[in-house]
């Protein structure tokens, strides 16, 4: 091999230009050159390791005098241009009333928890499914018993027994509208020779949840499915209001949990992803954003 050619006078070796660092939605919003600092408020925060299929947020952008307000389409495009994030994108933006609050105005939140049974070793699970579900060694679950147990959780209750320490909530009363256990049609990432694996979906819907409530309820329902608890015992656990009990103190792994949807009943249709906003807009042109994400998020509440 020959020696590298010498550089001529005034020439310097070309250095690779590092790619632009990915920004968070909050950091991207600061690049919009708003007259006043942009406050980015997200609808739901999730614990470290939890996923979000979508989320919603609101922000106010005040343009300089003489500048036309951003259209929703331009705002979404601008934010995505600044984001450059491999796992987050802005799907849509909407104008909303000036008093709209992405967190407090939400009327429904749905969480999905994914399980897989028949997985005796971690390497038996597709690499695409790792960190996307809770892998159980058991070959099957008593789904009928799990569904019976879930009925005890429906309605308005004090869910203190399913709340982890560190919650900022001042009260533990919540209304659980839906709790379901159903087979997953099957992961597209699982090969035919791996048909011993069975995927399951647990879904929970409420206006709001306590810290780690969904993961604790999931753990208890799995205990029922494995025969460690009877369905009637779930009612006893709920009524105990004791978060330190043997079964309810267990928390399902974070990586199996997904924030699935956030809905707003005060908006036509209830879903900010597919409706026009009602009410008058303020001069600040507040926006509601729908975010699509595929990476774990950090935060406080499920």
Q: Which residues are catalytic?
A: 47
Show the tokens assigned to 163. Answer: 């709340």
State the alpha helices, DSSP H only, in 129-242. 143-151, 213-225, 231-240
Question: Distance between CA atoms of 289 and 107, rounded to whole angstroms?
Answer: 16
DSSP 47-62: -TTBEES-EEEEEE--
Q: Could you give the dihedral angle defined by the CA atoms of residues 228, 230, 232 and 233, in that order, rounded to the nearest 10 degrees?
A: -20
Residue found by looking up tokens 């774990």 in the block: 296
Question: Distance between CA atoms of 63 and 68, rounded to whole angstroms?
Answer: 7
Show the tokens assigned to 292. Answer: 């699509």
Are 222 and 235 in contact, with CB atoms under 8 Å apart? no
Of 106, 102, 97, 132, which Cα lies nearest the Cα of 26? 102
Of 271, 267, 259, 266, which Cα lies nearest the Cα of 296? 259
Of 87, 182, 165, 193, which Cα lies nearest the Cα of 131? 87
Of 105, 106, 104, 98, which Cα lies nearest the Cα of 59? 98
Which uninterrupted H or E stretch holds 113? strand 108-117
């Amino acid at each position: 091999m020959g020696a590298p050619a010498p550089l001529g006078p005034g020439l310097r070796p070309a250095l690779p230009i590092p790619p632009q660092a990915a920004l968070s939605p909050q950091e991207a919003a600061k690049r919009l050159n708003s007259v006043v600092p942009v406050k980015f408020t997200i609808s739901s925060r999730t614990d470290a390791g939890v996923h979000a299929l979508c989320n919603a947020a609101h922000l106010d952008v005040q343009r300089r005098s003489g500048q036309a307000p951003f259209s929703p389409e331009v705002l979404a495009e601008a934010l995505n241009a600044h984001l450059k994030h491999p796992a987050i994108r802005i799907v849509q933006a909407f104008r909303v009333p000036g008093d709209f609050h992405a967190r407090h105005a939400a009327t429904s939140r749905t969480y999905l928890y994914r399980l897989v049974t028949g997985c005796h070793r971690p390497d038996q699970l597709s690499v695409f499914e790792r960190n996307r579900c809770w892998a159980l060694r058991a070959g099957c679950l008593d789904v009928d018993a799990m569904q019976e147990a879930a009925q005890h959780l429906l309605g308005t209750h004090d869910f203190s027994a399913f709340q982890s320490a560190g919650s900022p909530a001042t009260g533990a009363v919540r209304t659980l509208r839906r709790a379901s256990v159903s087979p997953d049609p099957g992961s597209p990432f699982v090969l035919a020779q791996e048909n011993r694996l069975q995927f399951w979906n647990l879904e929970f819907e409420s206006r709001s949840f306590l810290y780690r409530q969904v993961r604790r309820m999931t753990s208890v329902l799995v205990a029922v499915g494995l025969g460690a608890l009877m369905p009637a015992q779930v009612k006893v656990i709920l009524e105990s209001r004791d978060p330190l009990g043997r079964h309810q103190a267990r928390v399902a792994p974070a990586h199996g949990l997904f924030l699935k949807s956030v809905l707003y009943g005060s908006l036509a249709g209830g879903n900010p992803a597919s409706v026009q906003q009602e009410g008058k807009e303020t001069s600040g042109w507040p926006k509601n954003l729908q975010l699509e994400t595929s990476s774990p998020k950090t935060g406080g509440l499920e």
